[in-house]
Amino acid sequence: MRDTTEAFSRPRATPALGLLDQFETELAARLPASGPAPRLIEAMDYVLMAPSKRFRAGLVLLLAEAADVPRAAALDLAAAIEMLHGASLIFDDLPCMDDAPLRRGRASAHAQFGESVAVLAGISLLSLAYEVVATSADIPADRRAAIVALLTGSVGHAGLSAGQDLDLHGDPSGGVGAVTVAHRLKTGSLFLASVRAVAALADLPPPQTEALCRFADALGLAFQAYDDLIDLAAGAEAEAAHGKTTQRDGTRLALTQVLERAQIAALYAARVAEVETALTETGLDVGPLRDYVGQMLARRLPA
């Protein structure tokens, strides 16, 4: 199958590599070193510090640089976003959700620690994310509450949680439109909160913020289309390659329920093109960010 990302050049070495090396240390430093429930701390560390592309963190850090947001503030925001994402993965993998035993190439949190500890670790990561922003000495005091509100909204009843409910219980007879609504909420909401938070830190004007929101929306939909294609892959080799359990979308509100593989691949290509267009429309110096996003989206589609 041909590569579907001609709009992006193949990335050269990007500033993201150095940023993310620094970020790993910064992220670990924001985890509690101890507590009254050591196994809970261990589970939080297991999930948050698992081998990961750190795509959301890289997105925040590079966009913050393009928008002249101080690095220290961006690091706090990126850490909070990764904590929210880590919590969402815990909940997504639970037996009552995806019932997935594998995540990021190793046992999922509930498989490693049991369901009770996994759920509590997820709640703890959510709480810690909000605490990191609310107590940040580097995020201006007059922006902290607004950013916490953006983050809480992104995972709540009108965000990721709603998307997960639709994903599990939505009606596929609504076709691509119904799936898109679920994907915007489940995957896109955290991307959208990320760019809105950076825009708030940078005090960007509405036209730039709107272009960033279009970028985040298209990016979330592209990622979810790719994820649905991954789910079609079968066998231990495919799961090892992608680091997650596959073939879990059989009864879910997913693109695989309403489109053929070739149609999903075409939709993915269209979303990638939308990402490129929206980035250009921001008017920011997004060269490093463009390279980084290109690297993430220039993966060949699963066979």
What is the pLDDT averaged over residues 226-252?
A: 59
Residue 32: CB atoms within 10 A of its CB come to 11
Q: pLDDT grade, residue 11 (50/70/90)? A: very low
Q: Is the dihedral of CA 85, 87, 93, 96 positive or negative?
A: negative
**Least confident range of 16-20, 36-40, 72-76, 82-86:** 16-20
pLDDT tens track for 34-55: 999 999 999 999 999 999 989 9
The HSE-up count of residue 163 (CA atoms within 13 Å, CB side) is 25
In this predicted structure, the answer to whether residue 91 has a pLDDT above a threshold of 70 is yes
Angstrom distance (rounded) from CA 244 to CA 217: 24
Q: pLDDT grade, residue 166 (50/70/90)? A: very high
In this predicted structure, the answer to whether residue 247 has a pLDDT above a threshold of 60 is no
pLDDT for res 250? 55
pTM > 0.85? yes
Domains of the chain: 15-297 (1.10.600.10)
